[in-house]
Amino acid sequence: MAIRVQTETFDAGQMLNALHAEQLGVGAVVGFVGYVRDFNDGQEVAGMLLEHYPGMTEKALQKIVDEASERWPLITADVLHRVGKLEPGEPIVFVGVSSAHRQAAFEACHFIIDYLKTRAPFWKQEDTPDGPRWVDARDMDAEAMRRWR
């Protein structure tokens, strides 16, 4: 299980392939990659700044992965989240899980990304034509998380 927070971009394909390398018990690998969009809430977005508290963020991410591992029989789970200045089209987050069976892998990946959206201490500021704006939490993210309780 690997948790990383970094400014550098990443190769999602390489990360996905690593989840089953030399692990013959893996029957399913599921991955999610989130990207910076060039629009949000009906407005153009020229870029995004992601901030976090080092140390605290990694602990929060690890807690989310640990909870997923308690719920589903995972072989491994990797989470990588970028911080710093990002441009539209760049990857922000990678979540990848492996398990012996597909249902556990799908559900755990879905759970992890839902919890990341609501529990991970990241702050996002978008660059818009009207100037910078902080991205608020969304009701739909809280609703998505409630289904896991």
All domains of the chain in start order, with CATH: 2-146 (3.90.1170.40)
Residue 116 backbone phi and psi in degrees, to 5: -60, -40
60 — pLDDT class (breaks 50, 70, 90): very high
CA atoms of 110 and 119, how far apart (whole Å): 14
pTM of the model: 0.94
- Beta strand 47-52 with 39-40 is unpaired
- Beta strand 47-52 with 84-86 is antiparallel
How is residue 57 written in tokens? Answer: 């963020």
pLDDT (mean) for 10-20:
95
pLDDT (mean) for 82-102:
98
pLDDT (mean) for 90-110:
98
Three-state DSSP at 35 gives strand
Q: Which residue in 64, 77, 66 sits closest to 116, CA to CA?
A: 64
- Beta strand 47-52 with 122-128 is antiparallel
